[in-house]
């Protein structure tokens, strides 16, 4: 069961070869035994999980099973989950129990999934290493001295360590794809608006997008089938006909045009990462794909553009955390203003404060036109580069991250170096495109390397087809860290 895919687990549950209670107990046992090693979870509630598993078994027995009925999933602790602690990895929400479900949680409930727990993350999704959490850093199952990536590092570590078969995450500048790459699993960020942001605690509203983590591209398709869908409560949710993201998995990729941006293969990428990515591209050529060179000339501006726009939106979104209505409140204060100041000073971590200050600065009088408006204009140029590139190719490929997993604390004192961890992923969010990362080999210290696939708007099914065909020819995605216990 340890390395079963969602498809295999669903088949066994439907055939009643195993019960949801047994599957849930199995993974809860793993979480209890190994969860602290990786610090992957913030909240686990065995009572609620097993109650949901019993209800799932009843649905299966009655022939009313959904696509994920009885399968335990982990959710990033950024999704409001009714009756569960929802902290966003922050002290300021450390006592907040959500009174309602996010749209993603609702969709998973409707599909019959069981909540195994809420996963650790960078505070308010601000980070690339899952070190900024109030609950301490997440550790990479391939090397516990290293980070798993961020901000969805808890979800990535949980899937990599086989504590759950799949998990949800969010991606604002690479926060699904980068931890998927560093943790040796698959992760997908859909086209902006495909997955509702309702109930997903906001960081940067024009960039945030929910998506899945899993072991295989096929499992990502099954997860996205559940997570995607129009939601009138989210003004940015796209009203489209439902689609089956697994429909093209078996399709041949012969003749597929792979775009290789020169900007992805410049001096910034580490040699061990470049070697693994080159090997993956060679495998695609064996599968009958063609490669073409494309240009993304404005991609070099994506990091500075992102770190103007995202903090600007964060400074507005995080103004609601003031100690008045919910969450942490400073225990001692002299008046209302003092309460606001002390609550936010004590409740937010250093990285969150840094981004709020930057965002407030770029939105302030005299700097709005110089920074924020200019960044929005550059954002449009970055998106136009992708439009031009997709006239020449069907999918774009390159490294997900410029390096493999770095050590905990290695970049914590240098924000700029930390921000550059997302240099290959941020442009995808700025353009609103779909992107994913799949394992394609190993680099130094046996750390995983991720291959990034970028699709055109609403091109998730094509990306998943390309990834699935690669995974039929290779087994990188089924490799497991040596440190995890395989039997009980």
Active site residue 319: no
**Please, are residues 147 and 137 in contact by the beta-carbon 8 Å criterion?**
yes
**Which strands sit side by side in the sheet containing 210-214, from one edge to the other?**
41-43, 114-119, 72-76, 166-170, 210-214, 186-189, 435-442, 448-454, 395-399, 257-261, 290-294
Choosing from 20, 76, 133, 421, which is the catalytic residue? 76
Choosing from 155, 175, 196, 401, which is the catalytic residue? 175
Alpha-carbon distance 395 to 358, whole Å?
Answer: 35
Instruction: Give Dmax (Cα) for the chain.
Output: 71
Alpha-carbon distance 324 to 2, whole Å?
Answer: 45
CA dihedral 408, 413, 416, 421 (to 10 degrees): 0
Structure tokens that stand for 248 in this block: 């093209």
Alpha-carbon distance 96 to 317, whole Å?
Answer: 17
Alpha helices in 6-84 (DSSP H): 6-14, 20-38, 46-61
Active site residue 76: yes
Choosing from 19, 20, 133, 151, which is the catalytic residue? 151
Exposed (0-12), middle (13-18) or buried (19+): which is 281, by Cβ within 10 Å?
middle
| DSSP classification of residue 96 | P
Structure tokens that stand for 35 in this block: 């969860």
Active site residue 91: no
What residues contact 224, with CB distance under 8 A and at least 6 apart? 188, 190, 195, 211, 212, 245, 460, 464
Catalytic residues, by residue number, are 76, 151, 175
């Amino acid at each position: 069961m340890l390395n079963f895919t969602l498809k295999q687990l669903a088949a066994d549950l439907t055939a009643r070869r195993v019960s949801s209670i047994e599957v849930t107990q199995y993974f809860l046992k793993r979480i209890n035994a190994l969860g602290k090693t990786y610090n992957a979870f913030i909240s686990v509630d065995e009572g609620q999980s097993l109650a949901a598993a019993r209800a799932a078994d009843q649905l299966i027995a009655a022939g009313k099973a959904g696509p994920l009925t009885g399968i335990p999933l982990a959710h990033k602790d950024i999704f409001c989950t009714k009756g569960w602690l929802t902290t966003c990895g922050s002290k300021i929400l450390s006592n907040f129990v959500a009174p309602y479900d996010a749209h993603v949680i609702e969709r998973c409930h409707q599909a019959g999934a069981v909540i195994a727990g809420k996963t650790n993350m960078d505070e308010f999704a601000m980070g690339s290493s899952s070190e900024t959490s109030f609950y301490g850093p997440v550790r990479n199952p391939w090397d516990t001295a290293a980070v798993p990536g961020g901000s969805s590092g808890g979800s990535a570590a949980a899937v990599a360590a086989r504590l759950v078969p799949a998990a949800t995450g969010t991606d604002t500048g690479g926060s699904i794809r980068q931890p998927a790459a560093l943790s040796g699993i698959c992760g997908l960020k859909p086209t902006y608006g495909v997955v509702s942001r309702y109930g997903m605690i906001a960081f940067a509203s024009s960039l945030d997008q929910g998506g899945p983590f899993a072991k295989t591209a096929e499992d990502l398709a099954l997860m996205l089938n559940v997570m995607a869908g129009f939601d009138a409560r989210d003004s940015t949710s796209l009203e489209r006909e439902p689609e089956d993201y697994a429909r093209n998995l078996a399709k041949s990729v012969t003749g597929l045009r792979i775009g290789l941006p020169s900007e992805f293969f410049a001096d910034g990428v580490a040699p061990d990462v470049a070697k693994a990515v080159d090997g993956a591209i060679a495998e695609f050529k064996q599968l009958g794909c063609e490669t073409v060179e494309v240009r993304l000339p404005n991609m070099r501006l994506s990091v500075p553009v992102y770190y103007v726009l995202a903090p600007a939106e964060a400074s507005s979104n995080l103004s609601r955390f003031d100690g008045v209505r919910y969450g942490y409140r400073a225990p001692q204060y002299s008046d209302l203003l003092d309460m606001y100041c002390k609550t936010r000073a004590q409740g937010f971590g250093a990285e969150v404060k840094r981004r709020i200050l930057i965002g407030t600065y770029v939105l302030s009088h005299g700097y709005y036109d110089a920074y924020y408006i200019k960044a929005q204009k550059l954002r449009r140029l970055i998106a136009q580069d992708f439009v031009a590139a997709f006239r020449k190719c069907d999918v774009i490929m390159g490294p997900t991250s410029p390096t493999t997993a770095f050590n905990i604390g290695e970049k914590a004192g240098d924000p700029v170096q930390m921000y550059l961890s997302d240099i290959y992923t941020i442009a995808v969010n700025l353009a609103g495109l779909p992107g994913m990362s799949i394992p394609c080999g190993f680099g130094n210290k046996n750390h995983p390397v991720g291959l990034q696939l970028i699709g055109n708007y609403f091109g998730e099914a094509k990306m998943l087809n390309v990834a699935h065909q690669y995974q039929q020819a290779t087994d990188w995605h089924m490799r497991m860290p040596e440190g995890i216990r395989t039997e009980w």
